[in-house]
Chain A
């Protein structure tokens, strides 16, 4: 079958580059392998050359694949399933990057992209390390590249899938009668998924590339570790690997932190860290990497800990692979909110991990004997001893986190062997579970990093040295003690258990100690202060997380409801529009909601902080918003808004009433409403079970209905309907209205939210109240200003012109020439007079006139002509009998109120210490790296 509008060339080209990239990575790996093994042989140079060409071709292929994917995404070629899944016609182009790495295939390519970049840097800078490291890098690329192959291998009858080709056509992946049509693309185009609305923000643009650069960068220390073992240069690899490890630690750390910032700023998680499996498994490789940085520093300075350096740096990369496996295999299934969905690559990923596990540790055990380790032990008073212990503590932390996070893996393995296996549940409260143990890790790290900073490598005369540093250490201990006591007694941080007091002390100790070190030993020379900065930052960061976690409190907590059901406080409060609500020292008012773009609605909430006497101390507004899905109109994402202070944040998000967040529910609800019909004249009343309703007035110029927007030529009628609850006194008004616009009648209902009553106007309202123009017989009069005429006994006096006439069906335009005639009408019997103002109008050289009426006298007037030379005007007058004005009012009770939001508002005290501390820590790594680059 010939399909119309398909673009198959980019796909074929892309697939070619996938294969080329795959083969060339293997070629590069093999060539560099032989180069390494012949490193002292003349053939080294030519092997290297082949390897280089292989890697360049590979790099070119990867860039080409990416470029082609962007090309088909940019041009919205929906015949490709990847485009169909991640792009849609209305996706703004600024999100094309996000759409690219939203899927697994794209994110594998992002990973490969960074590996190519890092590989290129190595080719130009690694010198004698080029061959072995590039051999490893190319081999890693070979494995990741296999994830994109999209091959099926038949072993027996079962096809085995190797990789997913991002250029697969939609019609090859999905079945359906639609593909029987040659023109299917036009049909499927509007059905394209596009980027998940939740991900349509700048975080999705910056977070994945940073995190993946972090992921990719762990491959470089791994490659150096393999290279060191392979070539037996157990000491020489330490220098380059330290710089690379610091870079990797900085990048991966930044990526993780950015994820936390995203979760906190833009998502509705209500925090920056939740010990979710996906978060955990990005943290674990970083912890091990940081342990590795410490042992490498020790090894470089003293020759100790070379073996552990190998182990840590190899493990860090293997854990990245494990983390990839957990997030991409679907194994986390029911335990994580943000894992990828299953693609059927789990066995391939397992093979990926096992291959590199056996390769690296196999090589390590073969070469272990040859790794030098000094006979002399490190002294307990030396820096290297405490750094080593610190690394072990970090490893411990990593093991603990991995142990609990891997529960789904144990379940899968056990179920594989025993299908009846009863699955182990994850810890009921993950935050409490992890914090309980990690608290001790933080205490130990605080203490060690505070002490080790002052110690020296290869300490030989500790006594003499100790007298030098004694005072500084004492100062730090004293400072930490005093501040801990102040924090505890002043409740700056609510330290509710003794463990927290110990932790606070340990953290303050490292803060003071490292600060002291920077000031007294380094004399403020920040170039050398990398390590001290990082440790200082660590202390400040954990203090911040303690403060924000332990002192976290809810503004939106209504103490009087639901008390005592759970130990946790209730966190939501109902906020009715324009109804100031008091909660925990704040008065919060939901002021308004505005539609800011076609799918975004923003809510303005006013917060007023009250002092003890109830006076407003401070006021500010927050603007949380909600996003709706463009296809279904359903609520798709809720974005919080946060008020930042130096010492605390007020994080605020809202939930909407169901009828506001789901059009289906809203429609079903509307349909289920029972409207009862009443025929009323003005001031008639009727009673229902709960309400007393009366027609207060008929309004021919209605302005009160919030849903109505005036347009030129509209003919409107509105009612003012009063409703009073039989139980309470206050009267509420509804303003239903009807409009004739063109040939259609549109009715606007009106909701009285406090009573949950909805009022509509009968659809025959115009037949009841308006008299068709052709039933009128007008009489024409010509008169000057000040003159009067008599019509059916009514005396009509033309009083004056009005150059800025106001008329309900007239919306002024600049080009208009409009003039109104004020005519006073005296009733023949009643001593009452009224004024009418018919309008004469010239718009675009065409004259119009707009009539004015006195409804209850049945008088109709038109201003049809103006004669400037004679200074006269022509008016037409007609009279009709006054009708009995009865109208239909439709009323539904129990119409849910929808003028509210549900508020969740959390105070995070001291959260800025967390951000400040973590940034300082990462900055410390960057400073160390930069210092070593020189």
Chain B
């Protein structure tokens, strides 16, 4: 019996010694952690913080309604050119004033004013991606990307206008 108990004791002590060593090793590891590991952790943390910040710059394409709710913030808006409404560019009056109508994804139609010269072949464009703000009932765009069917094939041509 006795011997058995003794055996049990030794096992116990061994085990606790093992626990000790695991624990102390871990503690040691933290203290003596390599610089590269610290750098790694810092980098990962920085990456998480910055990527969260970056993600803040992203949003979905807004609608006119949403743009009207936040008139101070520049938004991206995707819509279709309304072809039967007037498209006006009179450079002799103002070379930086080009206006047309766009229907957004909810079907709202609003007048858009692009503060730039009229891009060529504008009438043929289909999807229009605008960057800008709502002012009153008009959308003032600073940047526009339009997608139009190419004259030759099924390929599409992209035209960019910036202000």
| Interface residue A764 (Cβ < 8 Å from any Cβ of B) | no
Contact of B163 among A407, A425, A570 (CB under 8 A): A570
Contact of A562 among B97, B118, B131 (CB under 8 A): B97
> What chain A residues lie within 8 Å of B3 (beta carbons)?
none
| Interface residue A768 (Cβ < 8 Å from any Cβ of B) | no
* Pair A336/B39 contact, Cβ less than 8 Å: no
Which A residue's beta carbon lies closest to that of B37? A377
> What chain B residues lie within 8 Å of A270 (beta carbons)?
162
* Pair A571/B156 contact, Cβ less than 8 Å: no
Interface segment, one of A119-127, A182-190, A426-434, A473-481: A426-434
| Interface residue A830 (Cβ < 8 Å from any Cβ of B) | no
| Interface residue B158 (Cβ < 8 Å from any Cβ of A) | yes
| Interface residue B69 (Cβ < 8 Å from any Cβ of A) | no
| Interface residue B147 (Cβ < 8 Å from any Cβ of A) | yes
> What chain B residues lie within 8 Å of A561 (beta carbons)?
94, 96
| Interface residue B50 (Cβ < 8 Å from any Cβ of A) | yes
> What chain A residues lie within 8 Å of B116 (beta carbons)?
571-572
* Pair A572/B50 contact, Cβ less than 8 Å: no
| Interface residue B103 (Cβ < 8 Å from any Cβ of A) | no
Interface segment, one of A600-608, A654-662, A675-683, A713-721: A654-662
* Pair B92/A574 contact, Cβ less than 8 Å: yes
- A377-B54 CB under 8 A given contacts A429-B131, A561-B96: no
| Interface residue A380 (Cβ < 8 Å from any Cβ of B) | yes
Q: Would you give the 0/1 interface string for A64-92, flagging 1 where the beta carbon is closer than 8 Å to chain B?
A: 00000000000000000000010000000
Distance between Cα atoms of A193 and B62 in the complex (Å): 38
Distance between Cα atoms of A511 and B155 in the complex (Å): 47
> What chain B residues lie within 8 Å of A566 (beta carbons)?
115, 132, 140, 142, 163
- A428-B140 CB under 8 A given contacts A334-B129, A423-B61, A561-B94: no
B76-103 contacts to A (CB < 8 Å): 76, 78, 89, 91-92, 94-97
A329–chain B nearest beta-carbon distance, Å: 14
* Pair B75/A399 contact, Cβ less than 8 Å: no
Q: Which residue among A333, A334, A388, A389 has the maximum number of chain B CB atoms within 10 Å of its CB?
A: A334
> What chain A residues lie within 8 Å of B61 (beta carbons)?
422-423, 425
| Interface residue B35 (Cβ < 8 Å from any Cβ of A) | yes
B interface secondary structure, majority = mixed
A836–chain B nearest beta-carbon distance, Å: 48
* Pair B115/A562 contact, Cβ less than 8 Å: yes
> What chain A residues lie within 8 Å of B47 (beta carbons)?
396, 399
Which A residue's beta carbon lies closest to that of B73? A428
| Interface residue A404 (Cβ < 8 Å from any Cβ of B) | yes
> What chain A residues lie within 8 Å of B113 (beta carbons)?
565
A576–chain B nearest beta-carbon distance, Å: 8
* Pair B96/A572 contact, Cβ less than 8 Å: yes
B142–chain A nearest beta-carbon distance, Å: 6
* Pair A407/B58 contact, Cβ less than 8 Å: yes
Contact of B95 among A403, A573, A897 (CB under 8 A): A573
Which A residue's beta carbon lies closest to that of B138? A565
- A403-B94 CB under 8 A given contacts A334-B145, A570-B163: no
Distance between Cα atoms of A428 and B43 in the complex (Å): 27
> What chain A residues lie within 8 Å of B54 (beta carbons)?
400, 403-404, 433, 437
Q: Which residue among B54, B135, B147, B152 has the maximum number of chain A CB atoms within 10 Å of its CB?
A: B54
Distance between Cα atoms of A399 and B43 in the complex (Å): 12
B134–chain A nearest beta-carbon distance, Å: 13
Distance between Cα atoms of A634 and B132 in the complex (Å): 30
Distance between Cα atoms of A60 and B52 in the complex (Å): 51
B87–chain A nearest beta-carbon distance, Å: 11
> What chain B residues lie within 8 Å of A341 (beta carbons)?
155-156
* Pair A193/B152 contact, Cβ less than 8 Å: yes
Contact of A572 among B43, B76, B95, B142 (CB under 8 A): B95
B111–chain A nearest beta-carbon distance, Å: 14
* Pair A336/B158 contact, Cβ less than 8 Å: yes
* Pair B115/A568 contact, Cβ less than 8 Å: yes
B89–chain A nearest beta-carbon distance, Å: 8
* Pair A424/B34 contact, Cβ less than 8 Å: no
- A428-B131 CB under 8 A given contacts A399-B47, A423-B61, A437-B50: yes
* Pair A377/B120 contact, Cβ less than 8 Å: no
* Pair A902/B91 contact, Cβ less than 8 Å: yes
| Interface residue B160 (Cβ < 8 Å from any Cβ of A) | yes
- A897-B96 CB under 8 A given contacts A437-B54, A571-B163, A632-B151: no
B15-73 contacts to A (CB < 8 Å): 34-36, 39, 43, 46-47, 50-51, 53-54, 57-62
A877-934 contacts to B (CB < 8 Å): 897, 900, 902, 904
Q: Would you give the 0/1 interface string for A568-591, flagging 1 where the beta carbon is closer than 8 Å to chain B?
A: 101111100000000000000000
Please list the residues of chain A having a beta carbon within 8 angstroms of any beta carbon in chain B. Answer: 85, 193, 270, 333-337, 341-342, 377-378, 380, 385, 388-389, 392, 396, 399-400, 403-404, 407, 422-429, 433, 437, 558, 561-562, 565-566, 568, 570-574, 632, 634-635, 655, 657-658, 661-662, 897, 900, 902, 904
16 contacts between A and B (CB under 8 A): A270-B162, A334-B78, A334-B129, A337-B145, A337-B158, A399-B47, A400-B50, A403-B51, A428-B76, A568-B142, A568-B163, A572-B95, A573-B95, A632-B151, A658-B118, A902-B117
Apart from A428-B57, A904-B117, 19 more pairs, CB < 8 Å: A334-B127, A336-B158, A337-B160, A396-B43, A400-B54, A403-B51, A404-B57, A425-B58, A425-B60, A428-B76, A566-B132, A568-B142, A570-B96, A571-B116, A573-B95, A634-B120, A897-B92, A902-B91, A902-B95
The 5 closest A-B pairs by CB, nearest first: A425-B76, A341-B155, A572-B95, A570-B96, A655-B117
